Structures are given as C-alpha cells and as structure tokens.
Structure 1
Amino acid sequence: MVILLLLLAFLPGTRGSAQVLDPSDDGRPMPGDPDYDASQDRRAGPQEQRESQPDTFGIFQYNASNPNLEKSWRDSLLDGLQRYEPDRKVAFDYGTIGQRGGAAYRLRYEPTLRTGTEIGFRQFDLYQVDGERLNYYRLERPFTYLGHVRESQQEDSWTTAKFSRNFADGVNLLLDYTRISQQGTQDQYPNQNLRNTHVATGLSVRPPGSRYRGFFSFAANTYEQLQNGGIDPASFLTEENPEVQNLQSLTSQLDQTRLRYSFREVMATQYLQFGGRTDTLSGEAKRAFTLQHQLKVDSRNYRVSSEQTVGDTALFFQRFPQLYVDPRGVRNQIQHNIISNDFSLSTFRQGRSGDRETVQKDVLEVGLNHIYHRVRQDGDSTINNLLLHGKIGLRPSDRLNLLVDGQFNVVGQTGDYRVSGTGELDLGKAGKLELKALNQLYAPDLVQQTFRLNGNTLWQNDFNKTLELRLEGAYTLPVVKIRAGLAYSILTNYIYFDELGQPEQATGPNSIIQLTGERDLAFGKFRLQNRVLLQQADQDVFRLPQLYGEHSLYYSGKWFKVLNVNLGVDVRYASGFKPYYYNTITQQFQLQDEQEKGFQYQLDPFFSMRVTRFRFFVKYLQLNSQWDQRNPLILMADHPYPDAAVRMGATWRLLD
C-alpha cells in the first residue's frame, strides 16, 4: 500500500491545480484561472452588483525586523480551507496530544534557532504570536479577515480576526486575535480541556517623505489548560472494551493537573534612514543608510500544578516515581523577565519585484544586542547576554536572492554562535533551486540543567554545548508542478529526555536525513495534491516516523455560475514508530518504549465553497474510525486522536 501511494504521488500528469487569489481582487475569475469562462464572464452579471470599488492595489505583508522586505498577502481560493487546524496548516504536520491547541512537536525535524538564554518550554511554539513575527500590512483600503470553526459542541471552537487600516500621516493600525477553545466533553478525553488566547496589536508610523519609521506592538499569549497525562492503555480498546462509545468513560493518568502560561511582550522598533532617494533620471533608488533601535520588554510566566489523587499515584507517579515529591501534589513555577536592546547599522539599495513587492537589491548590516534576563524560581537570578550580529544579502534580480546572517555571544554563554545562509535561483521554465545552510553552537536550556518541584531540585546537570549542522536543498520544476527536497542534519552532544523523563546528553554525533516530494496533479476537474516525507533518524534520541504522507483528492468546479466548490477527501498516514510521550509535569517531550504504533492513517471527507469573499467548509474527521476503530491515529504516546466528528467553518474577507 505504501509503495502504491508513493507511485501515485509522482505519476506524470497535467498541470498542477493549486490556485491562489490575491485578497485585494474583486472576486472575479481572470484569464488563466481554471474557473474563468470567456463566454460567461461575470463582469456584466449579478456578480457585478455585489462588488463595488474593486481594489487593484494589492495587500503586502512585512514585519518590523525588516520593513524593506515585503511579500504579497495571498488568501487561498479554496485549496486547504478545510485544514484550519494549526498543526495541519503548516508545510509539514505537527504531532499533538489529539487536542486542538495542545502540546505539539514537528513530525519533520527542523532546527530551533537559539538566541541567548532560554528556559526550554517549547510545546506551544506552534501557536505563539510575538512582535518579531507579527505581520504588518501595506494597503490602500481597510482590511478585515474573520474566521470561525464550530466543532462538535459550542464549547469547542477556533476563532480568528485580523484588521488593518491606514490613518493620516502614514499611520497604520493592526489588530490580530485568535482563540482556541476545547471546553466540551463529547470530543475531549476526561480531565482534559484548554483555552488558548492570542492577541496582538501593532502601530506602524511611516510619514510620507520622512526619514523616520516606527513600529510599536503589544502581544499577549495565554494558555490555560487541564492536562491528563494521557489515557491509561488498560482502559482503551482492550478485549473487554473493544469499542469506545464515550470518551469520558476512559481513565486518565492524571486528574487535576493545571497549566497556565502567560506571555506579555511590548516591542518598539525605530529606524532613521539617510539617503535612498529615487534618481530622477534612472528611476532607481540610491543607496540608503539606516540606524535601527529595537527595545523589547518581555514577561513570561510558566506554572504547572497537580493535585494528587489515588488514581494519579497508581498510574502516573508509579511510572515516574522521581516526580512524586509530595503526597499533596507538585508545583513548578518560573517567572522569566527579559529586556532586550538591539542597535544596528545597515546599508541597502531598495527596489521593487515583478509582483510590486518592496525588496532589497543588496544589504549589509552589523549590530549589537544586549539581553537582560531575570529568572525567578525559588530564588532570584540575573543573566546578561551580549551578542554581535550581522547579515549580508544580494538580490541583483528577481531570479537570484542570497542572504547570509550570523550572531556571536561575547558575554553570557560566551562562544555560542549561529551562522545561516539561504539562496534562491529562479531558472524560469527550467525550475527553481533553493539552498539553505545552518551551523550553530548553543548552551543547554535552563530546565535541562536544573529542574525543581516544590522547592526540591530533581536534577542538576553540567552538560556540554550542542553543535548542530544542517544542509538543505529543494528543486521545483513548474512545468510538471513537482518539488523535491533533501536535508541532512548532524548534532553533536544533543540533549534529549529519556524514558524516565530526565535529560540525557548523547555521546557523539546523531544524524537525520530527510527526503521530501510534492506533486500537484489535475485530471479535468479533479485534483490530486501530494506531499511525502521520508526521514531516517537515530532512534536512540529521536522518535519520528520514517514515512509520512499527506494527500488530497477532490473535485473542483463551479456551480450556478457563481459558486466555486471543492468536494473530496484528505488522507494522511504514518509508518510505524514509537511516538514521543508528553510529560505533563516536566512539560517536555520524552522517549518511551511502552507504546509502538504500526502503520496508521486518517481519512477526512470534505466540502468547501466560495461566493465572492465568503468561504465555507464542512468536513467529517476520521471517517476511517467507522470501520477501523481499533487503530486510532496516535502521534503522541497515550494520546489517541478523538474518533469521528463533524467540523464546520467559514471565513469572510472585507475591504471596507
């Protein structure tokens, strides 16, 4: 079956099906769009009456770290609308505890970029919003984007809202909100629920003709969760209980374990630019010089508390006796305050790409970043990091883009460094070549060195620094819509959490090699989208599937001349492996040898539709559980994904 799917993914076919729609358009198919019909062009039909003041300017995204580098904001027409889940929207899926907004890790290994001292809790990085990743918009008309998904119960939902508009004197306001709620009982396991809230607001000040530009943002991320440590395997799909009729009837490993993470960040990034005026004869921008200062004040609070019960003692703490430090319960709380001051000087030449995006034809930057850390955990300690950083880039045309950046710690974790480079070469019809390289040396995280429960030190380590090298490349051939990638990582002195939930440092190098393939096929009005990952990793320290595939087969057409529809099924599968276990008390992904999954898969039929700027979808999760209930999807040990359920969602895009 696996071989058949792999062959199917790369069969020769006609042109790819993925189509994107600029959110600033008027919603009408254009020549070249598969939905365009010259004989029934809607410009003179009823559609015209519902559209007014079409915006032909476009919407472009940029962030405060480099406002001279823009990308077009493109909202998919319909492809992938039904995959609203954060762990499914990314390029390669994440493995989760089976709950929307829960702890998640990458199923495809990728490096974590380090910058100075870090605590080491990363299970929610997938959902995080902060000032550096906050996207600002360059636009001419107010822009609003709304989305809502209702799951099995009203208490289970996903909601998002984005708003941006211009004011006088080059001022732009941005609002970004996302809420993930899993408070119901029908699709939740016992003693498990959550509410994640992400709010960000930004203000960009770019007065016309002025040398000054300022970007000010506030971001708040709050995670409030009841975590159950997983389901007791003895109560799940046994000979005595071959089918699960009620998830709440199962036995959890923890009863009253609550987590609350709170992140609050204020960031101000300001630029003063000299030069860069446009030459009146050539029309090209002259070289510009920029002074930059970025101030960031960040408050992070981590708290986990568990009130112990008889069930906890019998299940979880028998498995991890070293965590049983108090019969009344356990508690871990860390407060981490950060003040960062970054100064840099850069020079560049500005231009425009063929898509009207603002780009830098070349850039040279050097800077100094001081980071002050104050960590409170049964005591008070301060840490200072001083980093030198810089980058150099070259973009002589839209076809070639090169960028190298690096940083070096001179105070605090002295000797840590990171050097990375990216390159893109567009050969037109001959394809596109992408190359990446990363080399970094970094000190262990705080919780890898020291971890405390109820004031007791569970471990005190003196680990060596980890050295990581990653080389990655990809080639895209647009004629047949195929993309193939190869990546190789080697880590020396890698730190992981073993079967007992304690950190260990591997001796010698550990390697990971990865192959990826993507192919979009079209057969008339039918589409087949494919993505396959093959990876080989040292199982002593990494627990990742060797084969992971995602496929989408659907009909794409137009009904009643105005209704774009997709009707099909999403498929994903993973080869057998021993998945990570998420330890609720240590808040880490660790190795485990008790549960090994064989080949597993998931089928999700869906229907999606679009009328002008309104989109709607409905899908049926895990149809396969109707005939294969004894083989649930498990990407995190002891955390099976819930069984079959219906999801309905809609998005609106407004430009007024």
Structure 2
Amino acid sequence: MKKNFLVFFCLISVQVIFAQIRTIEGGFGRGRGGLNQNMDSLPDNEINVKLSGKTKYTDYKIISHKNDTTIVDTTLTIQKEYKFNFLRKDNFELLAFHNQGQTFNNLGYDFTNISKFPNIGFRAKMFNYFEIEEVNYYHVPTPTTEIMYRTGLEQGQVLDALFTTNFSKRFNLAIAYKGLRSLGAYRRSLASTGNFRVSFSYETPKGQYAIRGHAVNQDFFNQESGGLTETSLEAFLADDPNFSGNRGRMDVNLNDAESTLDAKRLYFEHTFKLLSSKDSVSQKDFSNLKLGHSFTRDSKFYRFTQGTASDMFGDANISSNINNKTIYLLYNNQFFLDFNSKYVLGKFRVKTELSNYAYGYENLQNNTVGITKNKLKGDAISFEADWNGRIGNFHVNASGSLTPGSGRLSGNHLSGEAFYKKDSVLTVKGRLGISNKSPNFNFLLHQSSYDNFNWENNFSQIGTRTLGGVIESKWGNASLDITNISNYTYFDENGQPKQFSGDVNYLKAKASKEFTFGKFALDNTLMYQKVASGNSVFRVPEFVTRNTLYYTDEWFKGKPLLVQIGATFKYFSKYKANVYNPLLAEFTLQNDTEIGYPTVDLFFNARVRRTRIYFKADNISSFVLKKNYFSAPNYPYRDFVIRFGVVWNWFI
C-alpha cells in the first residue's frame, strides 16, 4: 500500500497549495441520489465561493464518455450504501468471494452492452477493470478532491483518491488512483490491485476545436489457492471448532500459484467544428457540422505462475517454475462526421474504424501437444453510424456497425432504444440489440505448461439478440430482458472451451420499490430469471432478492449529523454455480454442487457536512445459519467481519 499513501500525500499537498488561494464556505444541500446524480433532480441550493460571484453546486460537473453530465453528490442515501465496496458499484447481481480484490461469481447477466470486438478473455480478472466508457471527465469551478477509504480483511485497505481542477474554463485535468491490498482470512488469498487514471479535456475559446483523452495503467495481482482441500471442506461444513476461529489453518489445493493481469491504455478524441448553428444560413436544415478522430492503444497481459506443478490441472511438460504469459495489443483509429438536421430529428454521426490486433505468446509454451501457432494477428475496417433523435418528450437512440470480411474482428452490431420521459415522474423505455462477433481470444488459442490446457479453435461467431424494456417512476422501477444466444461459448467441466449446439434463451425480470414510514424505510429489489433452453451450459439462480430496512434521522442540536442505521437481507435460490479455475482466470461448469443461501448485514452510516462514514457488519447470519455459504464450489464466502470506511469530498 505504499503507492496508495504516496498518492494520498501528493493529493493533500496539492490541496494545501490551492487552499492558500481559494476558500469555500458552506456545504451542499441534502438531496436523494447516488454518487453521480442527474442535475435536474436536485434542489437549487448554492455554495458560496470567494471568487467572482456565486458558484452553484451544479457547477461541479462529471462528464461521461457519452457526454452525459451529472454532478458531484455528497448526499447519504441507501444507494450509497450499496455502492460502498471496492468496485464502487451496486453488486446486486454479483456474488463476491470472501476477500475484496478477488473475483465474483455471477448471479445474473447483462447483454445490453456487448463490445464490438473479441477481447483477451480471462474474464474473472476483469470485474475491477476500467473500460473506456468508465473513465470520467470533469468541469469544476474550484479544485475538487474525493477520497474513499475502506479497511481490508485481516490486513490491508482500499484507497480511491481523485483530484481534479480546471486551470481555465476550457481546460480540465483529473488524476485518480484506486489501490487495494487485502490479506484475506484463508491461505493464499492475498489480493493487490491498482487503477491509475489521468484524464483531460480542452476546447478553444470559441469552441471550434476540442480534445479530451485519458491514460490508464491497471494491475491486478492475486495469490491463487485453488479452494479448500476435501478434508478442509468437510471441516468447514461441520463447523469444526479447531478451524472456526482461524480460517488460515485450513489447507488449500495450491500453495505457490499466483496470477497477474496488467493493462495499459492510451485514448484521445478530438473534433474540429466546420459549421456551427451561428454560421449556418439555414440553421434548421443543417448545422453543427463537425469532423472528429479518436485513437486507442490498448495492451494487456495475463500471467499465471507456479513454483511446482500440481496434479489439480493434470500432466505438465515441466515440473517446476511454470510461467505462462498471454499478450494482447489493439490499435484503433476512428474517423467520424457529426451534424444536426431537421431531417434526422436530432444528431447523426457516421464513422469509419481501422483496427489492428495481436494476441498470443512470445514462444510456444508446450512442445508436447502438437500446437504450432503461438500468435493470432489481423486487422479490419468497420463502418458505423449513430443517431440521437428527439420529438418533445420522446427520445430515440440507435447505433449500428458492420465489420465485413471473414477475420476474427468481423461481425455486426445493432442497438436501439426508444424512451418517453416525463420530468422525473415517469420514464418508459424499450430496447433492442443484435450482435454477431467472435468469441474472446482465449477461447480460440491458449497455451500452457499443463497439457490439457492447450488448444487452437476456429469457433463460429456468437449471435446475441436482446429485447427488453424499463419502467422508472415514483411508484417503483421494473425491467424485463429476453435474450437469445446462438453458438454460446463456455468452458466445460474439464476447463475445455466449447460451443453449445443449440440456442440459449434467457429471461431476466427485475423490480424495485422503496416504502417509507416516517424515519424508517424498506428498500426492496427482486430478480426472477428463467433459462428456457440451454440450462445445461448457462446457469443462474431462479430468484435473487435484497431487502433493506433502515432508519434515517438528524441528530444533535443544529442537526450536524445525519445517520443511517439498518440491516440488509439478501438471498439467492440454489443453483449449480460455476467453479473458478485459477489457471484460466475463468469460471467453468460443474455438476456436483448447488449453492444458495441467505445473508444478513448490519450497517451504521453517518454524514457530517461533506464526509460520509460507514460501519458494516458483514454476514452476521453466519452465527445462526449452517456453514453452507460459498462463493463458488470449494470457495467459502466470508464469515462475520466488521469493517469501516469513509468518503470525503473537499472543494477548495
């Protein structure tokens, strides 16, 4: 964690320097919402700033990759409680492993945002990975900092620090680092991760030229235990008192295995405005003509190392110093043209992309299995279009892409949504998605010192079709998605890549509603899932529910303290959950074990001005329930543990 405290010290130093010049008085008004909240949903409170005039809190803007604008929000809500984890996302559809920084099993799946191209794979390492769309840009009137701290398990902590400032109204710079190190309660479960991000945005005084971009450096390290041995598993299920107080005494299957994913990305996008609304003689016909270009360099490598070969994975061509490293590199150049017109009822963008990739290994990992190819290479050209239209309260967003040819990047994508929005009272949305793409590269080529984990495949494209809808209203929220997948690709019980010969038909319905009773509230989320066909290879629990009963009040004279006290009950029905394979960093099928159980967590949260404080008692239900709680077969979920954290915003 030395890197974490170095980043923290640097951010403190920058803040002190700026504090000599600017000072904020007062705080943010209380409202409801998450960390990023829509500007239209908050009251018109203000922050008085010793600058020229007054600065509203709505001037502290967070701008997404799609140019959606939200604001820095320091309120304390139940959604903040759900997002207070190392992912900083609501993980309702995920089942965490016992130590933060480890992977997650899936309780549900989302197919509404499918990438156009295959990726490196090794998906169990990707939950904490920042994609291009997850890096934010900012516009703030004064230097702004957010610090999130959370204790680890046994030893360690999480620190997520952000500092952003506008050097002028047109130029913003943001620096952020999220670091985690947590020892874990079981042997060989140490997790250490880092996500370093730098983003910037700039436009010329008249807005004719604009550029934004980011650089991201990410690393994810895990000791790999392989789960409990058969003897230790029996002791866990029987609640053997010799191990209940010290899980580190239990034996695990792997004693010297480690995995690492490193990733670096450079991205920028710039535009030049050829014609603005003011320049156009016929503004209603054609305006805001803009040329643009974006560039992406994305590199990743996954490494699995082991001191001595284990029979857990079968025979190996070497007996020690196993070191398997997979490399991936993608270059992408996109050229686009934007314009507004009454003939398209909004904004239209046409794009052309040039992509080049390389995936594989520096040399052959195993000379005894007959594989001769150690790399996959190729390039492709894509043609795309986006449309954003609006008529009154009715909105339409659509995008399509075509990558012709027979290469591994070839495919086509079509997505669209139409929604009606009436202020903050009602939103009704329908959506459609069609995608055809190759499987991830680790399904097509994989090499290892273990004989059984070497393959070359020429799989068919995966076809995914989704149809769904969402209703959001003051009376509650609901969504329904129906997904059909052809050539579904998975890893079987032996860790071998396979394609399902039939179709997978998957239905997911979710509903949420909060009931309030004075200072008490009951927040409920229920998800129902059904796999009509293909349940032999695609498995999810039928029911998942989360119910939180909590109390909110302002304490002490002058109401300086807002408290939030409650309990969260979560349950998922039994299903044959996939098992984690540390060599592949993927989840594979298994047919022997069903998991499904309830958990109860207690929390005490508080807000003092712009600081939110979190205390949480995880899995208090472990005192009374059977020891049958698992994240995956052979991997127990966490026992009862108390953790502390804080989120702190500074506006200088």
Partner residue, 2:264: 264
CA distance in 1, matches of 2:135, 2:25: 20
Q: Residue by residue, what CA displacement relative to the aligned partner does 1:436-461 show, whole Å, maximum 9, x if unpaired?
A: 21111111222112211139672222
Shift of 1:299: 1.9
Q: Match of 2:357?
A: 373
Q: Does 1:564 align with 2:562?
A: yes
**One-letter code of the match for 2:543?**
L
How far 1:104 sits from its partner (Å)?
A: 2.5
CA RMSD of aligned residues (A): 3.2
Amino acid at match of 1:535: Q
Distance, in Å, in 2 between the alignment partners of 1:654 and 1:542 is 46
Q: How much has 1:372 moved relative to structure 2?
A: 1.1
- What is the match of residue 378 of structure 2? 383
2:481 counterpart (479, 487, 492): 487
Aligned match of 1:217: 214
Among 435, 440, 459, the alignment partner of 1:440 is 435
Q: Which whole-Å CA distance do the structure 2 matches of 1:349 and 1:168 have between them?
A: 32
After superposition, residues 252-401 of structure 1 pair within 5 angstroms as 252-277=252-277, 287-308=287-308, 312-313=310-311, 316-317=312-313, 321=314, 324-328=316-320, 330-348=322-340, 362-377=346-361, 378=363, 379-397=374-392, 399-401=393-395
Deviation at 1:530, TM superposition (A): 0.8
Q: Which residue of 1 aligns with 2:244?
A: 244
Alignment of 1:577-592 (within 5 A): 577-592=575-590
Q: Could you tell me how far 1:287 is from its partner in structure 2?
A: 2.2
> C-alpha displacement at 1:244, in angstroms?
1.9
Alignment CA distance shift 1:490-1:558 (3 Å): same
The 1:393/1:234 distance shift into structure 2, 3 A limit, reads: same
How far did 1:524 drift? 0.8
Q: Distance in 1 between matches of 2:25 and 2:389?
A: 30
Q: Is the 8 A contact 1:349 1:362 kept in 2?
A: yes
Distance 1:404 1:105, change over 3 A: farther
Secondary structure in structure 1 of the residue aligned to 2:231: helix
Structure 1 unmatched runs, 5+: 1-22, 33-42, 351-359
| Number of equivalent positions | 593
In 2, Cα distance between the equivalents of 1:414 and 1:174? 33
For residues 282 and 610 of structure 2, the distance between their equivalents in structure 1, rounded to whole angstroms, comes to 40
CA distance in 1 between partners of 2:162 and 2:32 (Å): 30
Structure 1 residues 337 and 31, CA, compared in 2 at 3 Å: closer, same or farther? closer
Provide the rounded CA distance (Å) in 2 between the counterparts of 1:424 and 1:540: 36
Q: Given the alignment of the two structures, is residue 199 of structure 1 paired with residue 191 of structure 2, yes or no?
A: no
- 2:635 is paired with a residue of what secondary structure? coil
Q: Where do residues 478-557 of structure 1 align in structure 2 (5 Å cutoff)?
A: 478=474, 480=475, 482-537=476-531, 538-557=534-553
In the alignment, the residues of structure 2 paired with residue 91 and residue 619 of structure 1 have an alpha-carbon distance, to the nearest angstrom, of 16
- What do the CA deviations read for 1:74-125 (whole angstroms, capped 9, x no partner)? 4442324444124673263312332212222442111261323422222233
Shift in alpha-carbon separation, 1:455–1:624, aligned structure 2, 3 A: closer
Residue matched to 1:627: 624
State the distance in 1 between where 2:226 and 2:91 align. 28
Match of 1:20 in 2: none
Q: Give 2:448's match in structure 1, choosing from 430, 444, 453.
A: 453
- Offset from partner CA, 1:573-609 (integer Å, 9 cap, x none): 1111111111011221111122212x41111111011
Give the aligned residue type for 1:340.
N
> Aligned to 1:476, which of 472, 484, 500?
472
1:77 aligns with 76
In structure 2, the CA distance between the partners of 1:197 and 1:567, relative to structure 1 (3 Å rule), is same
Q: Tell me: higher relative CO, structure 1 or 2? Use CA pairs within 8 A at least 6 residues apart.
A: 1
Residue pair 2:146, 2:647 contacting (<8 A) in 1 also = yes
* 2:134 aligned counterpart, secondary structure: coil
Aligned residues of 1:279 and 1:286 also touching (Cα < 8 A): no
> Could you tell me which amino acid in structure 2 is paired with residue 406 of structure 1?
G
CA distance in 2, matches of 1:48, 1:338: 47
Identity between Structure 1 and Structure 2 (%): 20
Are 1:471 and 1:489, in contact at CA under 8 Å, matched by a contact in 2?
yes
Q: 1:429, 1:265 → 2: CA distance?
A: 37
Separation in 2 of the partners of 1:343 and 1:48? 43
Question: Within 2, Cα distance between the matches of 1:214 and 1:24?
Answer: 33
Contact 2:175 2:199 in 1 (8 A): yes
CA contact (8 A) 1:172 1:203 kept: yes
Flag the 1:305–1:361 CA change in 2: closer, same or farther, 3 A. Answer: farther
Inter-partner Cα distance in structure 1 for 2:253 and 2:89: 30
Residues of 2 paired with 1:48 and 1:347: CA distance? 39
Residues 240 and 300 of structure 1: is their aligned pair in 2 closer, same or farther, counting only changes over 3 Å?
A: closer
Letter in 2 for 1:205: Y
Runs of 5+ consecutive residues of structure 2 not aligned to the other structure: 1-23, 34-44, 364-373
Q: Is the 8 A contact 1:258 1:304 kept in 2?
A: yes
C-alpha distance in 1 between matches for 2:421 and 2:252: 53
Counterpart AA for 2:446: F
Give the structure 2 partner of residue 654 of structure 1.
Answer: 650
Letter in 2 for 1:620: A
Q: Distance in 1 between matches of 2:409 and 2:127?
A: 29
- Separation in 2, partners of 1:87, 1:545: 23
Going from structure 1 to structure 2, the CA distance change for 1:424 and 1:74 (only over 3 Å counts) comes to farther
Cα 1:629–1:485 shift into 2, 3 Å: same
In structure 1, what is the equivalent of residue 608 of structure 2?
Answer: 611
The more displaced of 511-520 and 125-134 is 125-134
